Structure 1
Amino acid sequence: MAELIHPEEKIEVSTSVNKPITKIALIGNPNSGKSSLFNQLTGLNQKVGNFPGVTVDKKTGICQLNSHQKVRIIDLPGTYSLYPKSLDEKVIIDLLYNQQSDLYPDLVIVTADASNLKRNLLLFTQLVDLKIPAVLALNMMDVATKEGVKINLEQLQQDLGVPIVPVNARNGSGIAALKIVISQQLQAPKRSFFKIPENLEGLVQQIRQYFDLETDYLAWHFAHQYQNLKFLSETDKGFISNLLQQYEFTSNTLQANETITRYTQINELLLDSVRVEKADNNEKFSNRLDQILTHKVWGYLIFFTVLFMMFQAIFAWATYPMDLIDAGVTGVNAFIQERFDGPLISLLTEGVIAGLGGILIFIPQIAILFAFIAILEETGYMARVTFMMDKIMRKFGLNGKSIVPLISGVACAVPAVMAARNIDNWKDRMITIFVTPLMSCSARIPVYTVLIALVVPEKYYLGFLNLQGMVLMGLYLLGFVAAVLSAWVMKIILKTRERSYFIMEFPVYKMPRWKNVGLTIIEKVKAFVFEAGKVIIAISVILWVMASYGPGERMAQVEQTVQQQARQNNWTQEETNIRLSSEKLESSYAGVFGHAIEPVIRPLGFDWKIGIALLTSFAAREVFVGTMSTIYSVGDSENIKTIKEKLMTEKDDAGNPFFTPARAFSLLIFYVFAMQCMSTLAVVYRETKSWRWPVMQLIYMSGLAYVCSFIVYQIFK
């Protein structure tokens, strides 16, 4: 074992007033447990930002090593090599190759899957040659043991020349030992794994001297990747480009030769420290399970069944908690209105509480949706879905990696669009970004559930198939079909010679870590409620003002006219209040605005009230329910009703129910296709660096929604 410095020696240095906090980069292959290790080290002391100049997420956190020492952990994107293929991976080289960066690490923790050391050590040997102090966190030792892999840690540590700490990032074992090791003042590794070819030593030395670099291997990477290094000036890049032409530098061939050389050394090294003992029938459980779950027939049926169960659960399991929330909001409103009166009370109950209640009631459904997605990711099944869908996706101009943004779009289009940066091919990436908003996100659930509950009876078939749940799934499938068909059209329109390849590694199946699932649910629901809540409250207040006041003396004149009609027709007080409420709403600023756009949306079956909701929901789709709740609550303080009941009692000009199946389905279809989200347009602009793509999305999706909604209404009315 390598000699360790006692932690107390480090404490004296690290607590110096002038010494900045130590920065530690956490890096490793995908599915090596890096994210779990980051959570173990930082707990809740973490935040998400962006790396400078790019839109890639930067997760950093504070780790308390001991009572006197803290360090900052930087969670880098997963990568197999220091030769990047995706946008996420490119931020790694910008960070590790720029010693002037504020985020340049003092130490690197490399996570490695103990059951697959050969693949994991390729990245590790590259990092060692950069001569950054390093620690190897050997994760998944329990998996390695089950697979018959025995590792001589003392021999491996001696061969690699860096401290090795076995950990289990899932249950936290080994974390204390890792903290002790990284609290030491570790030196840069002395061993090198790659030697620069003799005919290129002159090239490397000139680059090293020109940029004042510490190692030959760093200069070697400058030669390979100067075009990707954002911190280099055009003059610097020109200098390297001229050198490469002079030395006839062939990057792809040299990268391949380097990889072969490294794997040769890794194989020799592992012969001394790793022994694999397999039983006769020691076929991995994951492989046996994959024969079923990724089967060319059964795999798709199982995936469809999983989706079907998820959408059934959104309706069936969420009923009781939704009823409790609904009763609670209604009770609070009734309590306040029975005891207080005045404009401020009306603002609170009819504006703030009515609007916010329209979003709180959907927390159970959102939580169930995110729970399913988190479990699919935790178990490793989501990776299999990506693999299965690759062959199908390619026919429509996408690839297997596109299924991750598309499925993520079921939760929210914003992170889903950002997830598309893992797609290497430009054309596939642009198509994926363009069509992802057509997937029905969680913000559409409030609209879907309210309208479905209005016109679809709550019937069960075979004792467990909920008709409302089947309709909901149909809407989601409709969005998916629209997405892939739109992708197919774009595949024909966009011309490029670039070809894409799909390579990924399956993680082993494992039980989900329920703590991670729970944290994901809490985090996503909290973001949904608070981020949407800010918009909803603001819009609800504005709507209340617009619906309660009108231009000039119109509101006073309306009240005078209605009172006169009431005396002439001998209306009861309740009839008078209802008519007064309706007339005031139509004469208000909201009514004037709604009437102005009504001719445009009338062919879809919509009136001026729905028109107001459509426009306000452009800020966020879920605002639609809050808007309708606010509009139908105004002036109705003596009769507190749920949004569903308010819509059911709404009448058209002939006195018939307004929300007929034709009108409700027309509105549902409109929301399936419409780009009703400013946040999505903003993130598309940020990811594409151009307004062309979000503007095209807005025009295309709005036009598609209008046409399809028009067809549905004309057929069913």
Structure 2
Amino acid sequence: MSEAPEVTRTGGRQLPISPKLPTVRAACHGPVGADAGAGAPIIALAGAPNVGKSTLFNALTGLRATTGNWPGTTVDVGRGAWRFKADDRVCACVECSGECAVNRVHEFSLVDLPGTYSLDPLSRDEELTRTLLVDAPVAERPDAVVVVADAAHLARSLYLVAQLRETTHRVVVALTMNDVARKASIEVDSYALAESLGCPVVVLDPRRRQGLDNLTRAVREALARPTPSPRLTGAAALDDLSRDDERFAWVESAVRAGTTGSGAERVSTSDRVDRVATHPVAGPLLFLAVMWLVFQVTTTVAAPLQ
């Protein structure tokens, strides 16, 4: 008789976990790995849906990627080689062995994880992300995690960062949608935000391939540093609700420290028209005026035909 699969409870639901699900390191450095070499550092790309994560993945890999089901699951995961030519050194080696040499071609193995707002899974896709980032043994986890965050909805993206900072993951935040944020009168200070989050923050535009070099350097510097200490939360003494409240308060503090502006949308022409059209007095008068104009145009055009 076969053993029943282990399950995890989330929001009253049960999600089965495959007991033989391969880790990121096993899948990327095994026979089914992507184009990067066997010794390449593994970088996981995480973030909420619709924040430009797939666009960034394609920009970094140059479409040198494979997309398919993760072994043992039906969840689509993209894997590819993130290649770059280093023009500087980020190591502190006294005698460099050549791994950090200037103008040497380097590569990372990049894994595009399913989109998720947090590490508390509500679907099989989100469950896979948690399994690879949290439930796997520390030695089998990615070498670093790049969290793609929407600058226009920063708080929505940073809850995942709060959870990852409670682990020993090297985290780099890639800030996208900055043009949308500016249209909403939101200005993000990446330096102040990085100081508040305790991890690097890189502003970029993957569609125009802007800021990719800065992201590459930030990841290289993160890999050159020792494993970071987890964010102190006093989580052991907190229940689930209190722990969530603490994370939301941390996110709110980071957003407040790293952004300026009211966040109010600029008033468009459509908004100005709506103000008049939906006004309790001007609205009906405008409707009657439009109907009278339509009647006049109709009768004027139809008169010669009678």
TM-score tier, shorter chain, comes to: 0.5 to 0.7
Distance in 2 (alpha carbons) for counterparts of 1:286 and 1:264: 36
Distance in 2 (alpha carbons) for counterparts of 1:285 and 1:141: 23
Distance in 1 (alpha carbons) for counterparts of 2:207 and 2:76: 23
Distance in 2 (alpha carbons) for counterparts of 1:186 and 1:195: 25
Name the residue aligned to 1:56.
75
The correspondence for 1:274, drawn from 236, 244, 259, is: 259
Residues 285 and 106 (structure 1), Cα distance of their counterparts in 2 relative to 1, 3 Å cut:
farther
Identity across aligned pairs (percent)?
34
Aligned with 2:209: secondary structure? coil
Distance in 1 (alpha carbons) for counterparts of 2:226 and 2:158: 20
Higher strand fraction (1 or 2): 2
The correspondence for 1:182, drawn from 215, 219, 232, is: 219
Residues 182 and 78 (structure 1), Cα distance of their counterparts in 2 relative to 1, 3 Å cut:
same
Distance in 1 (alpha carbons) for counterparts of 2:231 and 2:213: 29
Cα distance, 1:144 vs structure 2: 1.1
Cα distance, 1:130 vs structure 2: 1.3
Cα distance, 1:103 vs structure 2: 6.5
The correspondence for 2:194, drawn from 141, 157, 164, is: 157
Aligned with 1:74: secondary structure? strand
Residues 103 and 263 (structure 1), Cα distance of their counterparts in 2 relative to 1, 3 Å cut:
same
Cα distance, 1:83 vs structure 2: 0.2
Name the residue aligned to 1:82.
119
Residues 162 and 151 (structure 1), Cα distance of their counterparts in 2 relative to 1, 3 Å cut:
same
The correspondence for 1:192, drawn from 219, 231, 235, is: 231
Q: Which moved more, 1:120-129 or 1:270-279?
A: 270-279
Provide runs of 4+ in structure 1 moved above 6 Å: 284-288
Distance in 2 (alpha carbons) for counterparts of 1:128 and 1:73: 20
Residues 52 and 171 (structure 1), Cα distance of their counterparts in 2 relative to 1, 3 Å cut:
same
Aligned with 2:235: secondary structure? coil
The correspondence for 1:260, drawn from 239, 245, 253, is: 245
Cα distance, 1:132 vs structure 2: 0.5
Aligned with 1:282: secondary structure? coil
Task: Give the AA of the match of 1:43.
Answer: G
Alignment pair present for 1:44 and 2:63: yes
Cα distance, 1:137 vs structure 2: 0.4
Name the residue aligned to 1:31.
50
Per-residue CA distance 1:239-263 (angstroms, 9 max, x = gap): xxxxxxxxxxxxxxx4333222211
Name the residue aligned to 1:112.
149
Per-residue CA distance 1:117-154 (angstroms, 9 max, x = gap): 11111111101111101111011111111111112221
8 A Cα contact 1:125 1:193, kept in partner:
no
Distance in 2 (alpha carbons) for counterparts of 1:255 and 1:286: 44
8 A Cα contact 2:48 2:148, kept in partner:
yes
8 A Cα contact 2:77 2:111, kept in partner:
yes
Task: Give the AA of the match of 1:195.
Answer: G
Cα distance, 1:168 vs structure 2: 0.7
Per-residue CA distance 1:17-56 (angstroms, 9 max, x = gap): x981110000001111101100100112100232222111
Higher helix fraction (1 or 2): 1
Residues 257 and 278 (structure 1), Cα distance of their counterparts in 2 relative to 1, 3 Å cut:
closer
Distance in 2 (alpha carbons) for counterparts of 1:107 and 1:285: 45
Residues 177 and 261 (structure 1), Cα distance of their counterparts in 2 relative to 1, 3 Å cut:
same
Distance in 1 (alpha carbons) for counterparts of 2:53 and 2:180: 16
Distance in 2 (alpha carbons) for counterparts of 1:287 and 1:168: 28
Cα distance, 1:285 vs structure 2: 9.1
8 A Cα contact 1:62 1:71, kept in partner:
yes
Alignment pair present for 1:65 and 2:84: yes
Distance in 1 (alpha carbons) for counterparts of 2:135 and 2:207: 33
Per-residue CA distance 1:615-661 (angstroms, 9 max, x = gap): xxxxxxxxxxxxxxxxxxxxxxxxxxxxxxxxxxxxxxxxxxxxxxx
Residues 143 and 106 (structure 1), Cα distance of their counterparts in 2 relative to 1, 3 Å cut:
same
Distance in 2 (alpha carbons) for counterparts of 1:193 and 1:285: 48
Task: Give the AA of the match of 1:65.
Answer: F
Highest CA radius of gyration, 1 or 2?
1
Per-residue CA distance 1:395-447 (angstroms, 9 max, x = gap): xxxxxxxxxxxxxxxxxxxxxxxxxxxxxxxxxxxxxxxxxxxxxxxxxxxxx
Gaps of 5+ in 1: 1-17, 201-253, 289-717
Distance in 2 (alpha carbons) for counterparts of 1:87 and 1:287: 40
When the two chains are superposed, the root-mean-square deviation of aligned CA atoms in Å is: 3.0
Name the residue aligned to 1:640.
none
Distance in 2 (alpha carbons) for counterparts of 1:108 and 1:164: 12
Gaps of 5+ in 2: 1-36, 86-103, 273-306
Q: How many correspondences in the alignment?
A: 219
Alignment of 1:383-462 (within 5 A): none
Distance in 2 (alpha carbons) for counterparts of 1:115 and 1:26: 19
Q: Which moved more, 1:182-191 or 1:42-51?
A: 182-191
Residues 45 and 101 (structure 1), Cα distance of their counterparts in 2 relative to 1, 3 Å cut:
farther
Cα distance, 1:95 vs structure 2: 0.8
Distance in 2 (alpha carbons) for counterparts of 1:95 and 1:158: 27
8 A Cα contact 2:114 2:126, kept in partner:
yes
Aligned with 1:53: secondary structure? coil
Name the residue aligned to 1:21.
40
The two structures have a TM-score, normalised by structure 1, of 0.29
Larger RCO: 1 or 2 (CA < 8 Å, sep 6+): 2
Name the residue aligned to 1:470.
none
